[in-house]
Chains A and B, each alone.
Chain A
């Protein structure tokens, strides 16, 4: 039987752009170009490798986001994913992590899955909780923050490098996996891949397709509320000296004046 892999991806504002908040304190997506979150490229890569090593597998990329989020799906399709699902609904604007996990979980169940692969975090929200939330909601094992992953005979194994120890993990499918940026360089889409992606199917689902009430998601339905967002004041210009042989000593003098020594 075919191994059904669903990769969750996020369309995020480019981190090198001038990111800021919109008037309703959601992430402004209009003024900064968006792209597939870099950390999700590792998820797509590992999903493709797992699929290549399986007898028969299908990789579906799934995103929840506005119209432009299709760009993230296209990128993943051009890397080699087979098909894509785009959950898009005006009522989703302002959904937080708990709400996003609800929508993703419903979509994953509707799509059908043996393995969910996610990145370690998004590059905009950076909370890194969605994979654990998905495992909780789907009621399947969580095998997260892996720097190495493989699937064989319905069992997923991987290595999780923590602060105090490196752990070997093992779970039966179906399961939710997340991979770190240490899991292996993501491939660049080939020209052929880019052309092929244009013909690959992208399904669009809205909240009613997933039987989710609008009240459960969006800014109004969010489980958290951002009350204020303020730009961090620019750091006041510091003292810069050119090393003319005494740079280390001058620096030590500064550190001593600040009571660090």
Chain B
């Protein structure tokens, strides 16, 4: 059976959820061979094996943390040359897309980014993508070379599928370009204790109607009652009420959770682009004419300062 290379996104050996989703998709195409790089790479093996990786290729070197992107491209290329896979799958993070794109040029392949589904096809994997602020769905394939495809979080369910997951050391020799861009400092983000925005099953977002940074506390309280991530519209971010890393929309994150709750967000195209593919959409807005209500499964026309705290209390009561 053909092997499929899966690039592993992990933090010191803890595999991030989108990589486990990739393994689900990779198993539709062949036998997943995982590539884990950097500090803690070997510690990824048990989680990867549990979810279907037949092999885990690992390599650690200081270059992965000290220089931007290119050392990882060199390593993925080494894995590609060793395995000769039928496809290469990479999580659709900012860095993942850059790694995948550079690999594609090096191996003379086409690239598809931000796939939301993958299936095997007669002429290679067929990728589903959303286009034009998710108003269209396309199906595409790579027509030259070995398909390189990046896949967005929440595109497949994480499934247990125990496999060997044999750890093998990957041989990597870095190119002379590997040290071109030096990382001279790194400030880790403070953890909020909430789920990662793009990976969360539920997202609670606030917009212009929240009317001030201090008022985001009520959005956060609702999010915490549901175990959700917190998002913000561009208007709220531009006003300085919430960090840009939480922005949902065309120029921020694109999310596709099971449940999206928009509070005080009108639903301009810029915002819809980032949340339209959510499974269930709920909105609270004072303006009954707000375009967000065209998207909702359930909407409440009302003041979010009344509705949101009442909802939070009710969720807490029901959850006991």
Contact = CB atoms under 8 A, between A and B. Distances in A.
B315 A252 contact: yes
A142 B181 contact: yes
Contact of B180 (A126, A129, A142, A243): A142
Q: Of B131, B137, B258, which is in contact with the most chain A CB atoms at under 10 Å from its CB? A: B131
B102 A133 contact: yes
B185 to A, nearest CB: 4
Nearest to A234: B294
Contact of A128 (B97, B131, B145): B97
Contacts, number: 261
Contact of B299 (A96, A136, A226, A238): A238
| Residue of A25, A133, A157, A227 with highest tally of chain B CB at under 10 A | A227
A232 B142 contact: no
A254 B135 contact: no
B237 to A, nearest CB: 9
A132 B314 contact: no
Contacts of A175: 180-181
Contact of A242 (B101, B110, B139, B301): B301
Q: What 6 A-B pairs are tightest by C-beta distance, nearest first? A: A243-B302, A248-B310, A223-B110, A141-B180, A252-B314, A168-B185
Interface residues of A, number: 82
Interface string B177-210: 1001111111111000000101000100000000
A240 B198 CA distance: 27
Chain B interface secondary structure, helix, strand, loop or mixed?
mixed
B294 A235 contact: yes
B300 A162 contact: no
Interface in A113-138: 120, 123-124, 126-129, 131-133, 135-137
B268 to A, nearest CB: 9
A127 B97 contact: yes
A39 B249 CA distance: 13
A251 B262 CA distance: 12
Nearest to B131: A229
Nearest to B254: A126
Most buried by A among B135, B314, B319: B314
Nearest to B176: A139
A260 B257 CA distance: 12
A57 interface: no
Contact of A163 (B189, B259, B309): B189
Nearest to A240: B299
Contact of A251 (B137, B282, B288): B282
A169 B132 contact: no
Given A223-B144, A247-B307, A123 B280 contact: no
Interface string B278-320: 0011101000100001111111111100111111111100110
A239 B299 contact: yes
B185 A16 contact: no
B183 A168 contact: yes
Contact of B143 (A142, A172, A181, A223): A223
A135 B180 CA distance: 10
B157 to A, nearest CB: 16
Contact of A239 (B95, B114, B298, B319): B298
B1 interface: no
B211 interface: no
Given A163-B93, A168-B183, A223-B109, A240 B288 contact: yes
B188 A165 contact: yes
B269 interface: yes
Interface residues of B, number: 92
A248 B306 contact: yes
Contact of B104 (A16, A98, A180): A98
Contacts of A164: 11, 188-189
Interface string A208-245: 00000000000000111111111110010011111101
B171 interface: no
A143 B294 contact: no
A48 to B, nearest CB: 20
A164 B185 CA distance: 13
B185 A229 contact: no
A108 B252 CA distance: 29
B235 interface: no
B250 interface: yes
B105 A97 contact: no
Most buried by A among B94, B133, B142: B94
Interface in A140-190: 140-145, 147, 157, 160-172, 175, 180-182
Contacts of A222: 110, 143
Contact of B298 (A120, A133, A181, A254): A254
Contact of B259 (A140, A247, A255): A255
A1 interface: no
